[in-house]
Structures are given as C-alpha cells and as structure tokens.
Amino acid sequence: MYLSHVNSLRALAILLIVAGHSIGFFSWRENPFTRDAIEDLIADGAVVFIFISGYLFQHLSTKFRYSRYLLKKVQYVLIPYLIVSIPAIFHSVFLKNPVAQYSFLEGTSRAYQIIWFYLHGGAHINYPLWFIPVIFVYYLAAPIFMVIIRYPTLYWLTLLLLPVSLFAHRPGFPNPDTIHSLIYFLSAYILGMFASQFRDKVDNFLEKYLGALLFLFVSYYLVHLFVADHHGNYHVKHIFSFEKGYIDWMYLQKIILAFLLLGMLKRYDSLVAEKLRYIGESSFGIYFLHAYVLYAFHLAVRWRPFGGSLATWITLSTLVVLVSMGITKLTQKIFGKSSRLLIGS
C-alpha cells in the first residue's frame, strides 16, 4: 500500500537536508543569531531521513526475502552510489592530494585510495554520501531487524538505544568512521520501524495529541535557541567524546520532529500529497546530486562568501533543490526506468 503521507515526509526530509547543507555557502558574521536560529531548526535532518528508512523497511517487510531484498538494494542504492561517487573520488584522488587531508593514506596506491573513498562515502566533496555505506549496513542487517518485527517486545530496546545515540553524538565532517554513524542513527531507524508496525496506534496518538506535540517541539526549539551554548549539529571527532556537552540535543529534537511531521502530513495529506509527490519520489536523486550542485555554485562565485540572511539562504536552498530536481528529471527522460541505476530515482 502506497503511503502518500510518508512520501511527503521523505520530501520534507530531503528539503531539510539540502537546506542544512546550504548554510555553509554563506558568511554569517553579521547575522550570527539568524544562523543559530536556522541551524537549531533544521540541523541533523538525516535523523528524519533514517527514521523514514526504518518506517519503509517495516512497511514492506510482509513479503521479505533476503536475497531479493538485497538485490534491489544493490540495483537501486549501491550501483547509483558507485556511479555518482565517481566525480568526487576522481577529484580527491587525481586532482587533489588525499594525503593532505587523510595522512594515513600516505604510501598507499591510487587503487587503494579509490576503494577507501568508496568504503567511507562522504569523505570527499560529495559529503552527503556518507549515508549510503551506513544505510547499506542496515540493509545487510535486515534479518536482525526482522527478528524485532517478529518479536515486537524487542522494541523496548529503543529505551537503551536512544540514550546511546544522545551520548554518542553525531560524527564530525569529514568523518570516515562508519561504525560511529551506525551506532548514532540506529535508534532512529528502529523508531521508524516501530511507527510503521504500530501505525494505527501511532497515527491515532498523533492525531489526538498533535497540538501538544507541536507545542513540545516549538518549546524545545526556543529553549535550546536561547539557552544552549552550542547551536546546530553536535559534531564530535570521536564517539562519546562529549566535547560539546553530554547530550546531542539536536538528535532528540529531530526524533520529535519526525513524529510531529508524520502526524501533520497524515492529517493534511489531501492538501499536500500531490504538491510534494515528485520531490519525495525523487529524494534519492536529489540526495545524490545536491552536493555537486552546491559545489558548482561555489565554483561559479570563486568560493567568495556571501553575507548570509534568511532570504539568501532560502533562495539558495530553493535553487539547489530545483537544479537537482531538474537534473533528476532530465536523467529520467533520457534513460527512462534505467535512471534508477544511475542516480537512484
């Protein structure tokens, strides 16, 4: 069964991610509070994206066959990843000196470096690709997640896994530590599974308490904005290093946001579903491509930082989404259904 409100959630998640990555295009020296306000609202949008991945995994698990499941993930996730990574890896290995950034690569062959960059997606100019090695490990672990689905009392493990995520903190950039990311995002993935498996109860709860959840999110956002010493992603160099405090408050905020948006999009599905349909269905293509679009914009202005404001940030974010969607649409027109093998959409 097609869940239009979940597709709409996927659309909003990719918009959050693109908007978050667009912040770094600007200099915010004159508007530091604006940057803090934006970052506290949209930082760590990947939590919502992984929540959706868990939701859809459980939703489609009734006909689960591991071999067929993995084959599809290889076709529509791994192969596009290998293709889309080519320009970024070529840039890092052949046009730049990767040893300057990753000293442990000194003395290694180019073949080794290429394999290393593939295994540690996102350690290059297309940095959002860190997501693919992480999510693919979750794909490989599907039989373990199926055990949770078959024995739902295991969802109580989330009470342990959520604090682990909050204490682990999000890996910094550039960060080739896939294990750190796997641990950090695991509770979001399983909470997505939970929301799907108990969809009727969760949807009824969200419908009943949507106003209260909205109040909780807004209050949380405002308290963090005006009280916290740190804003945006709680990036750390090493897992459980606590260099930005003991708790990753953005992670918890985005878990609340995931449920809030799920409830809002379910309630207002008839108003927004068609408007967000193509963005949601093209979300993987936008994810794969948008860092290249941002990089092209950087080159076009010769890396000159522009003054950041709410208007310039919204304008750039919109342009990046539109250009990424345009490239996705063009690829689909040229290659038809085969475009999924190239860009995931």
Domain that holds residue 217: 4-343
Task: Give 88-124 as a DSSP string.
Answer: HHHIIIIIS-HHHH-GGGTT--HHHHHHHHHHTTTSS
Rounded CA separation 288/179 (Å): 21
Mean pLDDT of 310-331: 94
Q: How confident is the model at residue 112 (pLDDT cuts 50, 70, 90)?
A: very high
The DSSP element (H or E) to which 13 belongs, if any, is helix 4-22
Calpha distance 130→119 (Å, rounded):
9
CB-count burial class (<10 Å; 0-12, 13-18, 19+) for 318:
middle
pLDDT in tens, 282-292: 998 999 999 99
Judged against a pLDDT cut of 80, whether residue 173 lies above it is answered with no
DSSP structure string for 153-178? GGGGGHHHHHHHHHHH-EE-SS---H
Residue-level pLDDT at 210: 95
Q: At what angle do helices 249-267 and 178-197 cross, to 10 degrees?
A: 30
CA distances to 15, 62, 69, 281 from 152, in Å: 32, 14, 21, 30
Q: Is the pLDDT of residue 176 over 70?
A: no
Tally of structural domains, the chain: 1
Closest by CA to 182, choosing from 21, 2, 46, is 46
CA distance 169 to 180: 9
Mean of the per-residue pLDDT values of the chain: 92
Statement: residue 86 has pLDDT above 90: yes
Structure confidence by residue, pLDDT tens digits, 34-54 = 999 999 999 999 999 999 999
Pairwise CA distance, residues 43 & 57, whole Å: 24
User: Residue type at 270?
Assistant: S
Alpha-carbon gap, residue 164 to 129, rounded angstroms: 24
- Whole-number pLDDT of residue 245: 87
Tell whether the model's pLDDT for residue 194 goes beyond 90.
Answer: yes
The Cβ-side half-sphere exposure at 57, using a 13 Å CA radius, reads: 31
Q: What is the mean pLDDT of residues 118-130?
A: 89
The structure's pTM equals 0.93
Residue 279 has pLDDT above 80, yes or no: yes
Q: Residue 1 pLDDT more than 80?
A: no
| Per-residue model confidence (pLDDT) at position 5 | 93
For the stretch 12-32, pLDDT in tens is 999 999 999 999 899 999 899
For residues 123-162, one letter each, b for 16 or more C-beta atoms within 10 angstroms of the residue's C-beta and e for the rest, the string is bbbbbbbbbbbbbbebbeebeebbebbeeeeebeebeebb
pLDDT digits (tens, 9 = 90+) for 146-169: 999 999 999 999 999 999 999 999
Which residue type is seen at 339?
A: S
Name the range with the highest mean pLDDT among 118-132, 299-313, 317-331.
317-331
Q: Is the pLDDT of residue 175 over 70?
A: no
Cα separation of 4 and 265, whole Å? 9
Looking at residue 136, its pLDDT comes to 93
Checking if the pLDDT of 232 tops 70, the result is yes
Query: Sorting pLDDT into bands at 50, 70 and 90, what band is 241?
Result: confident
pLDDT at 337: 84
Given a cut of 90, whether residue 208 has pLDDT beyond it is yes
